[in-house]
Amino acid sequence: MRILERCMTQSIIRVFCLMVLIFSLLYILIDATSTLDEIIDRKIPLVILLKYYCSFLPEILVQTSSVACLISVLLTFSSLNNHNEIIAMRASGLNFWQISRPALCFSLIIAAVVFLVNERIVPETYTTTQQIRDENMILKVDRIRKDTEVIRHMTFYGLKNRLYFIDSFNPYDRMLEGITILEHDEDQNVHQKIIALRGVWTGIAWKFYECQIMAFNPFNITSPVKIKMYKEKLMDIKETPDDFLNQRLNVSMMNIRQLNQYITKFATSGAHKALQNLRVDMHRRIAFPFGNVVIVLAGLPFVLIFKTRRGETFTALGLAVCVGFLYHVINAVSIAIGKDGLFPPVVAAWATPALFTLIALGLIKTKSVN
């Protein structure tokens, strides 16, 4: 690595670490301030608080890495621009890609780190933070409200090797709506499928209404061998409403491999809405880390367009930060549209990175920053 590239990389790393530290402190300060009354009233020990907020650090890194990476790169290049070092590099024959190579390499490394942290650490720390919060920091009234609010798109594995999908579950009324249950044999082949419009807990058992039970041949699940229809039927389901709450799966606690396995196992359920959401979430997990590279690539041209005037450099810096904000807004919209089924999952997850990459390449070419 050349001396110039080494100095640029060191500057980017210093600012990046500082920005992540600032974001972490701001998050902890805001969260602690909003829950200060609870912390004081419940006399939560300092050790518990430290464990709680330390478990947030991986999630903070994942969520703020793209903005921190963008700001660190832009501040470094703005400083170079203000001291005419960019002009000197251009005069020596370096093009845009050679000048920005340290920034792009750094963003690629951060993207890889974010991917690994999001896959291996965040699911575990998410469980830890939820457990600490539920046991120590949630007020009784909030716990009651949480336990009685309607749960949408609930899924879990139950007894008898059954896979459940519920459109909505009202814990207060103990009522299920939009029920799909897949029952597997010992070889994980679907041998029975239960569909019901509604289910009510009688206190002893579940009663399903407008129920359809289909039996399948394990070697041919494309068409059922037997179909039974019931207006209402008491079901041989051992899970109680409390079991439904305790066993539900949370996508935030899954990594890509677990999500893919879950989607594969759930693919024959016929619950297209749930499958669409899960597929979008899986592709979003893959595409998310690349946002670090795309945002940096889209922001760099604004800094390199302007030459030596300080005011114009700060204007470029502000425009580049706006690019980062717009990236996340458009990405959120694309993900929401994908979950509504208007975009295929791959398109929903990758549309924003592809769009901003094209914009960045267009800026690099039209603004003659190379």
Domain ranges of the chain: 3-127+284-366, 149-249
Query: Rounded to whole angstroms, how far apart are CA atoms 314 and 319?
Result: 9
Amino acid at 238: K
**Residue 219: what are its φ and ψ, rounded to 5°?**
-95, -5
- Structure confidence by residue, pLDDT tens digits, 18-70: 989 999 999 888 888 877 777 777 777 888 888 888 888 898 888 888 888 88
Strands in 190-201's sheet, in edge-to-edge order, are 151-158, 162-170, 175-184, 190-201, 206-215, 226-235
3-state secondary structure of 325: helix
How much is the mean pLDDT over the chain?
81
Widest pairwise Cα distance in the chain: 82
**Residue 139: what are its φ and ψ, rounded to 5°?**
-70, 160
> pTM here?
0.71
pLDDT classification of 146: cutoffs 50, 70, 90? low
| Both structure tokens of 193 | 């499928």
**Residue 197: what are its φ and ψ, rounded to 5°?**
-75, -40
- Fold assignment, 149-249: lipopolysaccharide transport protein A fold (2.60.450)
Which of the pair, 231 or 299, is modelled with greater confidence? 231
Amino acid at 108: L
Q: How many CA atoms lie within 13 A of 271 on its CB side?
A: 30
Residues of the chain with pLDDT > 70: what percent?
Answer: 84
| Of 4-8, 173-177, 314-318, 355-359, the least confident | 314-318
User: How large is the average pLDDT for residues 217-230?
Assistant: 77
Which of the pair, 87 or 174, is modelled with greater confidence? 174
Nearest to 71 by CA among 287, 310, 308, 292: 292
Q: Residue 352: what pLDDT?
A: 93
Task: Please check whether residue 359 is in contact with residue 294, taking contact to mean a CB–CB distance below 8 angstroms.
Answer: no
Nearest to 178 by CA among 146, 148, 155, 147: 155
Amino acid at 335: I
Nearest to 347 by CA among 333, 361, 362, 359: 333
3-state secondary structure of 121: coil
H or E element that contains 107? helix 101-120
Q: Residue 230: what pLDDT?
A: 92
Burial 150-188 (b: 16+ CB within 10 A, else e): eeebbbbebeeebbbbbbebebeebebbbbbbbbbeeee
